[in-house]
Chains A and B, each alone.
Chain A
């Protein structure tokens, strides 16, 4: 692959045009799409993730990188096998029933998309049934639930029960977050993980990947 470092830098700087150009040059030179994806786009986004967690990059810059990367992925898609294209996985996300706080959830969603996940956003005030429905419909690998109120946290547990009852628990990884949520709570209700912020959500979700892909 040519200009690997340049592609990585372009992702970090969120330079969409440059990304496209380098990808096209590489594709016409015969570089496999998977290689461009892994060594250029994903490698770049990984650095972006690290820079966000170390507070070097700010959210709008991260989202800009994510957007630019997505446009690169679009270019590569026709050259990838279906497995390669959706390698990161599919996520259903929503704020639980009774809860209208969605700023954190939206951030998690955008960063997950930036990391290559396909995300189905159910919005706020989402009932356990609606979560179950969406998991089935989209054949999701990961469920993300957000709650900012102690009064709505129990809905997370209810949702997990509903998922078990629907016979889906084994095929889905459940990630939860929001200001009052803790690791302990996550263990208690039988979720698979808790993320204190959007950056960690991506990191944890990536660690799940080997389990379902």
Chain B
């Protein structure tokens, strides 16, 4: 588990922010103004009804204008942290404040196969291997399915993804489903693993990743999932995808305002459905369309930081995104973008940081890239620790004892303490001859070997046989009714 937390002790551990309190306030007021003045289109009747009953203004059937008071009220009931357990019910993630946790992304169509070096369509086996790897990597705190399995019936692919995440790792899960029925099935599977409906609520280990068409246009499935999960008090993310220059103004502020108006809409509906329902909001803000290539850049520097500041201001946990790259290869660009994005999200204090290991702007994944990210996270963890300046750590007696001409190598104190310092696993520090005698390998080559080693050695704790079968029955049922 990555023990990364910015701003742990005031002024004593790394911490960054881009927006002042005043700027956050202005942004928040802008969201409220958008909701009151422009309003949103909601494509699910129950959501419209809930808001109408609470005092929102509804026109044209589903154009809803939300009074500020409803947002203010929702902010008083939403939990400030979201706890996720591992699949054994241990409370391992407390997402909120400045505490950061890291996990993979979902549904990459392609994989850069580490065995052949080729880019090919991903299959179910890739998800299974990915989950074994995640289970073993100490700085990956939660999993998403990484790949999209091209070798199963596509209508029910989300059931296979969920099954693989339950079978091949014990870590907390964030699942994605295309339609509402897939979400219901994912919860059924999770309840089986948790040991019942009640146990999943008291020991939630799975959260749903919900995407919304744009800030002001909320699609039916997104709202159905939100209502279903809020009703149960189970965690989910609610991420509108306002895209600067396309579905929102090109300015970062304009896109942030529209996107967060959307997030706050989801917040209000969730709290109307059930006060105290957990809610996770976007941890990146100011998405853009790259106007030169028409891709949506993931590692864009300008969309980082401010959304995390804004969520801290509101007191709501974030779903952030980092460790991702636009590169087509596991190359220098991939490593650089992964490192910079992971570093920024950690220092700002994003909570559930996903998409670690993504290449090609979300269309390709790679196991060695994930291993490299795990190493980067280890570096960041070491960096983020505060420095203790105390009588004990200053060692003045020792310094005096050793004197100007002595050395510390063979001191008992060195022997007792040297292991507290950070050592890399994958990053190479040997001198040239040492490195050459180990085969003179690049980081990518070493990461490849590391993946193979882990896949050979690591055996995740399997689900009990009857549980695995009951989970698989849900997959079968979906297959039979498709």
Seen from chain A, the residues whose Cβ lies within 8 Å of a Cβ on chain B are 55, 58-60, 98, 100, 103-104, 106-107, 149-151, 153-154, 179-180, 197-198
Contact A150 B157 (CB under 8 A): yes
| Pair B363/A107 contact, Cβ less than 8 Å | no
Minimal beta-carbon separation of A201 from chain B (angstroms): 11
Given contacts A150-B148, A180-B109, contact A59 B363 (CB under 8 A): no
Determine whether B344 belongs to the interface, using a CB cutoff of 8 Å to chain A.
no
The answer to whether B243 touches A103, judged by C-beta atoms less than 8 angstroms apart, is: yes
With known contacts A103-B246, A180-B109, A58–B154 Cβ distance under 8 A: no
Residues of B within 8 A of A197 (CB): 294
Q: What 9 pairs across the A-B complex have the smallest Cβ distances?
A: A58-B291, A59-B291, A151-B154, A150-B154, A55-B292, A151-B178, A58-B292, A103-B246, A180-B109
The answer on a CB contact under 8 Å between A198 and B213 is no
Q: Is the CB of A150 within 8 A of B291?
A: no
B244 to chain A, nearest CB (A): 11
Chief secondary structure at chain A's binding surface: loop
Report B246-268 CB contacts with A as 1/0, cut-off 8 Å. Answer: 11000000000000000000000
Mask of B136-170 contacts with A, CB within 8 angstroms, 1/0: 00000000000010100011010000000000000
A179 touching B109 by the CB < 8 A rule? yes
Residues of B within 8 A of A151 (CB): 154-155, 157, 178
Please measure, in the bound complex, the distance between the C-alpha atom of A166 and the C-alpha atom of B307, giving whole angstroms: 50
Contact call B294/A60, Cβ cutoff below 8 A: no
A103 contacts B289, C-beta separation under 8 Å:
yes
Which A residues are in CB contact (< 8 Å) with B431? none
Partner of A154, one of B154, B219, B363: B154
Task: From B213, B247, B289, give the contact of A59 (CB < 8 A).
Answer: B289
Whether the Cβ atoms of B292 and A179 lie closer than 8 Å is no
Question: Which residues of A have CB within 8 Å of B231?
Answer: none
List 9 A-B residue pairs with CB atoms under 8 Å apart, sorted by A's residue number.
A59-B292, A103-B247, A104-B294, A149-B178, A150-B109, A150-B157, A151-B154, A151-B178, A179-B363
Report how far A149 CA is from B125 CA in the complex, Å.
Answer: 20
Among candidates B155, B178, B219, B245, residue contacting A60 with C-beta atoms closer than 8 Å: B245
Interface check B293, CB cutoff 8 A = yes
Shortest Cβ gap from B123 to chain A (Å): 12
Whole-angstrom CA separation of A197 from B148 in the bound complex = 22
